[in-house]
Amino acid sequence: MNARRGFLRNSLANLALLALPSARASASTAATRTIYQHDLPNVSLSGWQVTILELTFPPGETSPKHMHPGFVLGYVLEGKFRFHVEGEKETVLGPGDVFCEPPGRAHLPSGSASAALPARVLALVFSEKGKELVMPA
């Protein structure tokens, strides 16, 4: 299990480098900085896959209440992102902030926290192969 978590941590760090233009430009002088650390759900990743999505929320728009059978790690690329998981306090995240959605927990309406600017999020959705990524809550 520790090997899988190490692999996942390194994979996410590499994805962050690919997602950020300034990080790509300075890759030759790479340095490591921990941005986010969170315990992962107790799941076996055997038979699972990861789907990486770029989500763009127009100004003031939010997603409907939904849930993910797997779990989601997200990274705010641009704008102010209103994030709310059932049982937790609603937060507004900015560029460079990271969030985690536990499996099976309702994701309450979330989206752009600005009436004038969009929010863009990179979402890594971990799920069992062949299962839906999003379900109504």
* 56 burial level (CB within 10 Å; 0-12, 13-18, 19+): middle
- Find, among 20, 4, 2, the residue nearest to 98 by Cα: 20
Domain ranges of the chain: 2-136
CATH architecture of 2-136: Sandwich (2.60)
List the pLDDT tens digit at each of the 137 positions of the chain.
555 555 555 555 555 555 555 545 555 678 878 888 888 888 788 899 999 999 999 999 999 999 988 899 999 999 999 999 999 999 999 999 999 998 888 989 899 999 999 999 999 999 999 888 888 88
pLDDT of residue 3: 54
- HSE-up (13 A, CA, CB side) for residue 69: 12
- pTM of the predicted model, to two decimals? 0.72
* Tens digits of residue pLDDT in 83-116: 999 999 999 999 999 999 988 889 898 999 999 9
